[in-house]
């Protein structure tokens, strides 16, 4: 099996760190030209510089993923400078960072301030929806098919106290993905989602930095380790490649066995 992306173009959001950054790196290694987008411009400039050393075209783009005008401009730039978008990996998100900690009732849904709820939805759900929509329009116009890959979460399936808003946002990403799979199939566009478990990214720093919390989490993972960003990037690579061409409307679970649906 050769997971080859030669002559393909990819737009990857949330690319300044973690899963997005590793996905950009892996896609470029497999031959793709990449736009790396994130609100952290310095971070994506670093990523783009790294990808150019691999001989790829790489564009760094700053974007606030909850702003539709900025998303539309990002997609238009990718179409012009990359020559189109074959693959989207929507990895931009804000975390639920209180897992295993006592942060008070602010994080219980019955007490959570509306502005906190709206911020979570505006980035994680609205931002993914808007990115998917504008990329899908570009793909339909190009009439070459395409791949949409959304980063959801195991939290879309299994919820925890004080993590409700995050779980709802990621469950929304999963239902969004299924809906797009049905609506876009006629255009040769697939839509799939990935539901990572506990991955070694900045989102889990507070867990991995606590011996008590880390041990409690590792005890729930049958493989006994945290996932690496590469584990998720490799799943995205499969879905983006020709080998993944018959997958659509699916939720992939690279999670070490912590969730077995």
Cα–Cα distance, 74 to 38 (Å, whole number): 10
Q: Is residue 60 part of a domain?
A: yes
C-alpha dist (Å) from residue 214 to 160, 199, 245: 16, 12, 37
Question: Would the pLDDT of 64 be above 80?
Answer: yes
Q: Is residue 155 part of a domain?
A: yes
Cα–Cα distance, 176 to 171 (Å, whole number): 8
Cα–Cα distance, 49 to 165 (Å, whole number): 35
Question: Would the pLDDT of 255 be above 80?
Answer: yes
Higher pLDDT, 236 or 213: 236
Q: What does pLDDT average to over the chain?
A: 91
Please state whether 9 falls in left (phi above 0), alpha (psi between -120 and 50) or beta: beta
pLDDT of residue 96: 64
Q: Is residue 206 part of a domain?
A: no
Q: Give the residue from 215, 240, 218 showing the smallest Cα distance to 227.
A: 218
Catalytic residues: 166
Mean pLDDT across the stretch 208-214? 79
As a whole-number percent, the residues of the chain with pLDDT over 90 amount to 71
Q: Is residue 81 part of a domain?
A: yes
pLDDT of residue 213: 81
Mean pLDDT across the stretch 51-71? 97
pLDDT of residue 1: 62
For the chain, what is the domain count? 1
Q: Is residue 193 part of a domain?
A: yes
Q: Give the residue from 245, 84, 41, 52 showing the smallest Cα distance to 149.
A: 245
Q: Is residue 104 part of a domain?
A: no
Mean pLDDT across the stretch 208-220? 78
CATH of the domain at 187: 3.40.50.720
Question: Would the pLDDT of 192 be above 80?
Answer: yes
pLDDT tens digits for 106-165?
678 888 889 989 999 999 999 999 999 999 999 999 999 999 999 999 888 988 776 788
Q: Is the pTM of this model over 0.85?
A: yes
pLDDT tens digits for 74-117?
999 999 999 999 999 999 999 865 444 445 556 788 888 899 89
Cα–Cα–Cα angle for 199, 252, 89, rounded to 5 degrees: 75
Q: Is residue 28 part of a domain?
A: yes
| Domain limits for position 21 | 9-97+121-201+228-252
Q: Is residue 260 part of a domain?
A: no
Radius of gyration of the chain (CA): 18
As a whole-number percent, the residues of the chain with pLDDT over 70 amount to 95
Question: Burial level of 111, CB count in 10 A (0-12/13-18/19+)?
Answer: exposed
pLDDT of residue 101: 46
């Amino acid at each position: 099996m050769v997971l080859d992306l030669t002559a393909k173009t990819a737009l990857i959001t949330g690319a300044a760190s973690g899963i997005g950054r590793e996905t950009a790196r892996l896609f470029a290694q497999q031959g793709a030209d990449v736009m790396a987008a994130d609100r952290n411009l310095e971070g994506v400039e670093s990523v783009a510089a790294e990808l150019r050393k691999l001989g790829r075209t790489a564009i760094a783009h700053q974007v606030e993923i909850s702003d539709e005008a900025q998303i539309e401009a990002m997609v238009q730039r990718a179409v012009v400078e990359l020559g189109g978008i074959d693959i989207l990996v929507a990895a931009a998100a804000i975390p639920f960072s209180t897992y295993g900690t006592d942060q008070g009732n602010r994080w219980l849904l019955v007490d959570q301030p509306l502005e906190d709820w709206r911020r979570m939805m505006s980035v994680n759900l609205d931002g993914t929806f808007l990115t998917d929509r504008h990329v899908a329009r570009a793909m339909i116009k190009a009439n070459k098919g395409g791949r949409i890959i959304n980063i959801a979460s195991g939290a879309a399936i299994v919820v925890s106290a004080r993590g409700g808003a995050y779980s709802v946002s990621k469950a929304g990403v999963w239902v969004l993905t299924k809906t797009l799979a049905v609506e876009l199939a006629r255009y040769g566009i697939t839509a799939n989602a990935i539901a990572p478990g506990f991955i070694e990214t900045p989102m889990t720093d507070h867990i991995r930095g606590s011996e008590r919390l880390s041990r409690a989490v590792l005890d729930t993972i049958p493989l006994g380790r945290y996932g690496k960003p590469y584990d998720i990037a490799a799943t995205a690579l499969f879905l983006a490649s020709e080998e993944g061409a018959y997958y659509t409307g699916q939720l992939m679970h690279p999670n070490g066995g912590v969730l077995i649906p």
